Chain A
Amino acid sequence: QKEVEQDPGPLSVPEGAIVSLNCTYSNSAFQYFMWYRQYSRKGPELLMYTYSSGNKEDGRFTAQVDKSSKYISLFIRDSQPSDSATYLCATVGADKLIFGTGTRLQVFP
């Protein structure tokens, strides 16, 4: 079993939709959870990180962690074509990041 699992998609939504991106993880000891956005042929860009359970909001983005079910989510409100990218979830394990494989999101006008 991979330590972090993520549906690769692709996920295709119309502009203005609410997008839900999800990951599961295996180790209950993980405490920090991150979401990165990666445009084609670019490096990953840190969107936000959360600690333990709960929600964190930044503009149109909300990250949610449910430690009881080992489930992390990223919600994008009012999605825009410029949000089209691959979204990577990650956690910290043994002093390094452990990534999911990424979900490709396409927002069409």
Chain B
Amino acid sequence: GAGVSQSPSNKVTEKGKDVELRCDPISGHTALYWYRQRLGQGLEFLIYFQGNSAPDKSGLPSDRFSAERTGESVSTLTIQRTQQEDSAVYLCASSPHFSRHYEQYFGPGTRLTVT
């Protein structure tokens, strides 16, 4: 079946502009996660959605970052007033159930470059 998809695959933006990144999880997966991967570094947790419950936002680095998810479908990650340090690959993952954090399937990522 179809895996996790993300769009756009690449995004170049000027410092100070807002960007919106999209994630389509695997159909039926109730849990959705966003991570950031900076060059040469491991994946950094950003936010986690579990069904209709309040999301775990503990990993968001600043209030310029926000994310939404409608039900168990598409999620968008928004970065306002982008800074150069926001340049990274943003990865989305989904899991069949919130109890199965150990079984996350990742999308191809969005490579964000802030100039």
Residues of A within 8 A of B (CB): 4, 6, 8, 32, 34, 36, 41-46, 49, 51, 88, 90, 92, 95-102
Contact = CB atoms under 8 A, between A and B. Distances in A.
Contacts, number: 58
Interface of B: 4, 33, 35, 40-43, 45, 48, 50, 56, 59, 91, 93, 98, 101-109, 111
B106 A49 contact: no
Contacts of A51: 102
Mostly, the A contact residues are strand
Contact of A95 (B41, B48, B106, B109): B48
Contacts of A99: 42-43
Q: Identify the 5 closest CB pairs spanning chains A and B, nearest first.
A: A43-B106, A32-B102, A99-B42, A101-B42, A99-B43
Given A43-B108, A46-B105, A49-B102, A95 B42 contact: no
Contacts of B4: 43
Which of B42, B48, B56 has the largest number of chain A CB atoms within 10 A? Answer: B42
Nearest to A102: B42
B101 A42 contact: no
